[in-house]
C-alpha cells in the first residue's frame, strides 16, 4: 500500500517540514499582533503543551498502527462500526480549503523574493502601501505568483514526497533557522527588542475575548498540522523501531521555538519603527523588507534567502496538506498519483482563485459570503472549526475506541507508566472537553 518507509530521521524531518511552515512565520506573528500579544501567546503555548502534543502522538499512533490512508485507518482500527468511523477520515478534505489560501501566500512569498532582490521599500509605511496595493488591487501579479506556487507545489507532490522535497528540506530548513537566528541577533540591537519581549510574554488578559481563545487553540492545531490526517498519513510510513514519543516531542518543540523566534524578530522591528502590531496577514511583508533595506546589499541577500527559505518551509507544508488526500485516492480508488493530483489540483486552483479575488477591492462585492471574503472564510473555517473538530474526533477515537492495551503495548517501550497515563487522560478527557468548550464558548459568548 505504501512505498518505501521513512527513515527515523526522515520521519522527523518530514513532520517537522510539515509543522514548520507559514503558520509559524507568517500566521503566528500576525495573529499575535491582532489578538493583543502575551495572553494569546500564553493560550497558544498552553494548548500546544496540554492538547497539541498529546494529539500529535495520538495521530502518530493511528498511523503507526494502521499503516494505511486516513480513511482506511479509522475503518480498520475501530473494533466495531468501522464502516461509520471511516467517515472521520474525511477530515483530510480540510486540506483542500487550507491549501487554497496557503498557496496564495506562497505566491506572495515568491513575489517578495523578487522584491528583496530589486525593490526593497525603505520604510514601514512604504512597505505597507505596496503590500496593501498588491493585495487589494493587483489581480495580475497575484494570479501569476499564485499559479507559479500552485504548479511548484503540485509538481513536487507528483514526484512523491521523499525524493525531492525531503532533500530540499534538509538544506533549507537549517538555512531558515540560521537566517532567523541572525535576524534575532540583529534585533537584540534594536530599541524595539525589549518591547517585543514584553508584548509576546507579558499577558494582558483584558485583551482576551472568546474569539482570541478560539484563534489561539485553532492555531495550535494549524501549526502542528493536526486534525486533518497529515501526521497520521506520514506516520503510516514510520519505521517500526522509531521512538514515536521522542519524535513527537522534538517536532512540537522545534515548531514552537521557530514561531517564538519569528515573533521576536518581527515585533522588535515593528516597535523599533513605532509601527502597529495589528497589520493582519501583511505583517511580515510589511515589517521585514524595510529592515533588509537598512542593511544595504547584505540586506538584499538576506531578504532573498529569508523569503526563499520561507517559500520552501511553506512548500514542505503544502505538500503535507495534499498528501493525505492523494494517498486516500491512490489507496481507495486505485488511481495513479498523477490522476489524483489532476483532480485535486483543479478543485484547489478554482477555490484558490476565488479566495484571491475575494481580496480584490473592486471584486469584493461579488465574491463575499456573509460579508467575509473567501480567503478569510477558508482560513477561519479550517483553523477554527474543522481542525479542532478533527482533533476532537481523533481524541475520542484513540481515547474510547481503540483498545487501551493496544496503545499501551505500542507506547510503553518509549515512556514510563505515569507519562502514559497522563497522555491517556489528556486524550480521553482534556482534549475533547477542552476543545469543545472553547468552540461552544465562541459560539455563545
Ligand atoms: N503546519 C503548517 C504550518 O504551520 C500548516 C499545516 C496545517 C500543514 C495542516 C499540514 C496540515 O504552516
* pLDDT winner (highest mean) among 261-265, 287-291, 367-371: 261-265
Q: Is residue 190 a part of any domain in this protein?
A: yes
* Cβ proximity of 347 and 95 under 8 Å: no
d(CA 321, CA 253): 21
Q: How far is the CA of 254 from the centre of ligand 1 (A)?
A: 14
Report the nearest atom of ligand 1 relative to the CA of 26.
Answer: 12
Q: What is the pLDDT of residue 339?
A: 93
What's the mean pLDDT in 415-434? 97
Mean pLDDT of the chain: 91
Which pTM was predicted?
A: 0.94
Report the nearest atom of ligand 1 relative to the CA of 94.
Answer: 9
What's the mean pLDDT in 363-380? 82
Q: Is residue 418 a part of any domain in this protein?
A: yes
Q: How far is the CA of 189 from the centre of ligand 1 (A)?
A: 32
* Cβ proximity of 359 and 75 under 8 Å: no
Compute CA distances 196 → 37, 111, 236, 273, 426, whole Å.
Answer: 9, 27, 40, 12, 33
Q: How far is the CA of 18 from the centre of ligand 1 (A)?
A: 6
Residue 256: which CATH number? 1.10.4160.10
Map 131-157 to HEC letters: HHHHHHHCHHHHHHHHHHHHHHHHHHH
Compute CA distances 408 → 68, 96, 245, 416, whole Å.
Answer: 20, 34, 12, 10
- Whether residue 445 is predicted with pLDDT greater than 80 in this model: the reply is no
Q: What is the pLDDT of residue 1?
A: 41
What's the mean pLDDT in 111-124? 95
Of all protein residues, the one whose alpha carbon is nearest to atom 8 of ligand 1 is 225
For CA atoms 169, 72, 59, 89, the dihedral sign is positive
Count Cβ atoms below 10 Å from residue 4 Cβ, excluding itself.
9
Q: Is residue 315 a part of any domain in this protein?
A: yes
Angle CA 347–367–153, to nearest 5 = 30
Distance spanning both ends of the chain, measured CA to CA: 47
Among 99, 169, 318, 321, name the best residue to mutate to test ligand 1's pocket (greatest count of ligand atoms within 8 A of Cβ): 321
Q: Is residue 35 a part of any domain in this protein?
A: yes
pLDDT in tens, 30-77: 999 999 899 999 999 999 999 999 999 999 999 999 999 999 999 999
What's the mean pLDDT in 148-155? 90
Report the nearest atom of ligand 1 relative to the CA of 222.
Answer: 7
d(CA 88, CA 434): 20
Q: What is the pLDDT of residue 164?
A: 63
Q: Is residue 228 a part of any domain in this protein?
A: yes
- The binding-site residues of ligand 1, defined as CB within 6 angstroms of any ligand atom, are 18-19, 21-24, 98, 222-223, 225, 228, 230, 317, 320-321
Beta bridge partners of 372: 369
Q: Is residue 3 a part of any domain in this protein?
A: no
d(CA 46, CA 217): 9
Q: How far is the CA of 321 from the centre of ligand 1 (A)?
A: 7
Among 320, 326, 384, 386, name the best residue to mutate to test ligand 1's pocket (greatest count of ligand atoms within 8 A of Cβ): 320
| Between 269 and 24, the higher pLDDT residue | 24
Of all protein residues, the one whose alpha carbon is nearest to atom 7 of ligand 1 is 225
What's the mean pLDDT in 261-276? 89
What's the mean pLDDT in 171-184? 86
Among 18, 258, 390, name the best residue to mutate to test ligand 1's pocket (greatest count of ligand atoms within 8 A of Cβ): 18
Q: How far is the CA of 20 from the centre of ligand 1 (A)?
A: 7
- Whether residue 3 is predicted with pLDDT greater than 70 in this model: the reply is no
Q: Is residue 2 a part of any domain in this protein?
A: no
Instruction: Print the domain residue range for 142.
Output: 8-444
- Whether residue 272 is predicted with pLDDT greater than 70 in this model: the reply is yes
Q: Is residue 1 a part of any domain in this protein?
A: no
Structural domain total, the chain:
1
Amino acid at each position: 500500500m505504501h512505498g518505501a518507509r521513512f527513515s527515523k530521521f526522515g520521519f522527523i524531518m518530514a513532520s517537522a517540514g510539515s509543522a514548520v511552515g507559514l503558520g509559524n512565520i507568517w500566521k503566528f506573528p500576525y495573529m499575535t499582533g491582532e489578538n493583543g500579544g502575551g495572553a494569546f501567546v500564553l493560550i497558544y503555548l498552553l494548548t500546544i503543551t496540554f492538547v497539541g502534543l498529546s494529539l500529535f502522538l495520538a495521530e502518530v499512533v493511528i498511523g503507526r498502527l494502521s499503516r494505511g490512508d486516513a480513511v482506511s485507518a479509522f475503518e480498520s482500527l475501530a473494533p466495531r462500526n468501522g464502516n461509520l468511523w471511516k467517515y472521520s477520515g474525511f477530515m483530510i478534505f480540510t486540506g483542500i480549503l487550507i491549501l487554497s489560501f496557503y498557496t496564495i501566500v506562497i505566491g506572495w512569498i515568491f513575489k517578495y523574493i523578487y522584491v528583496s532582490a530589486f525593490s526593497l521599500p525603505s520604510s514601514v509605511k512604504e512597505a505597507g502601501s505596496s503590500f496593501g496595493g498588491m493585495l487589494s488591487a493587483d489581480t495580475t501579479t497575484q494570479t501569476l505568483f499564485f499559479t507559479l506556487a500552485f504548479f511548484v507545489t503540485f509538481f513536487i507532490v507528483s514526484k512523491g514526497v521523499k525524493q525531492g522535497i525531503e532533500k530540499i528540506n534538509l538544506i533549507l530548513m537549517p538555512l531558515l533557522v540560521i537566517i532567523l537566528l541572525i535576524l534575532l541577533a540583529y534585533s537584540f540591537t534594536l530599541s524595539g527588542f525589549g518591547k517585543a519581549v514584553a508584548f509576546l510574554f507579558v499577558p494582558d488578559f483584558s485583551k482576551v475575548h472568546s474569539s482570541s481563545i478560539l484563534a489561539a487553540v485553532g492555531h495550535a492545531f494549524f501549526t502542528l498540522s493536526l486534525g486533518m490526517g497529515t501526521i497520521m498519513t506520514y506516520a503510516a510510513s514510520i519505521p517500526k523501531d522509531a521512538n514515536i514519543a521522542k519524535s513527537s516531542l522534538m517536532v512540537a518543540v522545534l515548531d514552537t521555538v521557530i514561531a517564538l523566534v519569528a515573533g521576536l524578530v518581527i515585533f522588535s522591528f515593528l516597535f523599533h519603527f513605532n509601527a502597529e502590531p495589528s497589520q493582519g496577514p501583511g505583517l511580515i511583508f510589511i515589517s521585514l523588507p524595510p529592515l533588509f533595506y537598512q542593511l544595504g546589499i547584505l540586506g538584499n541577500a538576506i531578504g532573498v534567502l529569508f523569503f526563499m527559505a520561507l517559500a520552501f518551509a511553506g512548500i514542505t507544508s503544502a505538500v503535507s496538506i495534499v498528501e493525505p488526500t492523494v494517498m486516500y485516492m491512490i489507496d481507495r480508488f486505485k488511481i495513479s498519483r498523477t490522476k489524483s493530483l489532476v483532480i485535486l489540483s483543479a478543485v484547489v486552483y478554482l477555490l484558490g482563485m476565488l479566495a484571491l479575488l475575494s481580496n480584490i477591492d473592486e471584486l469584493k462585492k461579488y465574491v463575499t459570503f456573509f460579508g467575509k471574503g473567501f480567503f478569510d472564510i477558508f482560513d477561519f473555517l479550517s483553523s477554527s472549526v474543522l481542525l479542532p473538530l478533527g482533533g476532537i474526533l481523533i481524541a475520542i477515537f484513540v481515547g474510547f475506541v481503540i483498545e487501551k492495551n493496544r496503545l499501551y503495548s505500542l507506547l510503553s517501550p518509549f515512556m514510563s507508566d505515569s507519562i502514559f497515563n497522563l497522555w491517556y487522560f489528556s486524550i480521553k478527557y482534556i482534549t475533547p472537553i477542552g476543545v469543545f468548550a472553547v468552540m461552544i464558548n465562541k459560539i455563545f459568548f
